[in-house]
């Protein structure tokens, strides 16, 4: 009986479910390094969505295996979940913006009476100012991931 308790205890202690199992690369690529440090040599590179088997963790690093090659990867680059496709509210937002303008035109007639319910909820109970036009400008800047990654790579000499 005591042996059974001992074995169960040891199994519970040693089997950390967070360690073992398949992880997925979330960053656009992940370098597998020879040691758990950026000083290590690149053993292999795995692209986004690539499945790796996590074998061990050390600090911010995970030892993983991919296509028979083992290497250390930053834990911030991998996840237990497969990467999702990019989610965008751009089209909906434009539609909503038009609706907002219509609503604004509608409520402006009653503005003399003070803030309408619509304005009050937009600004919040504390009366924070809002600038949805500047937000639209912010959202209008289109730069794809490849362009941005290449820009950085050129700057840092990679």
Task: Figure out which of the listed residues 67, 76, 95, 108 binds other proteins, where binding follows CB under 8 A.
Answer: 76
How many residues form the binding site for other proteins (CB under 8 A)? 66
Burial class (CB in 10 A: 0-12, 13-18, 19+), 36: buried
Helix axes of 132-140 and 90-108: crossing angle, nearest 10 degrees? 160
Strands 29-33 and 21-25: unpaired
Q: Compare residues 18 and 68 and give the one whose CB is closer to other proteins.
A: 18
Q: Compare residues 22 and 67 and give the one whose CB is closer to other proteins.
A: 22
- The nearest distance, CB 158 to other proteins, in angstroms, is 5
Task: Figure out which of the listed residues 28, 43, 104, 115 binds other proteins, where binding follows CB under 8 A.
Answer: 28
DSSP string, 28-69: SEEEEESSSSTTSPEEEEEETT-EEEEEEEETTEEEEEETTE
Q: Compare residues 68 and 134 and give the one whose CB is closer to other proteins.
A: 134
Torsion over CA: 140, 146, 151, 156 (sign)? positive
Residues that bind other proteins (CB under 8 A): 2, 5-6, 9-10, 13-14, 18, 26-28, 31, 37-39, 48, 57-60, 74-81, 83-89, 92-93, 117, 121-122, 124-126, 128-132, 134-135, 137-139, 141, 143, 145, 147-149, 151-153, 155-158
């Amino acid at each position: 009986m005591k042996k059974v308790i001992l074995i169960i205890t040891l199994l519970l202690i040693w089997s950390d479910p967070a360690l073992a199992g398949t992880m997925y690369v979330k960053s656009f690529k992940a370098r597998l390094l020879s040691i758990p440090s950026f000083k290590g040599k690149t053993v292999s590179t795995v692209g986004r969505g690539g499945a790796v088997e996590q074998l061990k963790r050390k600090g911010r690093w995970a030892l993983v295996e991919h296509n028979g090659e083992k290497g250390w990867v930053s834990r911030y680059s991998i996840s237990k979940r497969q990467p999702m496709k990019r989610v965008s509210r751009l089209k909906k937002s434009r539609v909503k913006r038009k609706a907002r303008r219509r609503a604004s035109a509608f409520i402006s007639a009653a503005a003399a009476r003070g803030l309408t319910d619509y304005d009050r909820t937009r600004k919040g109970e504390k009366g924070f100012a809002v600038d949805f036009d500047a937000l639209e400008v912010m959202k209008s800047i289109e730069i794809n991931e490849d362009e941005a990654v290449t820009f950085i790579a050129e700057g840092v000499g990679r």
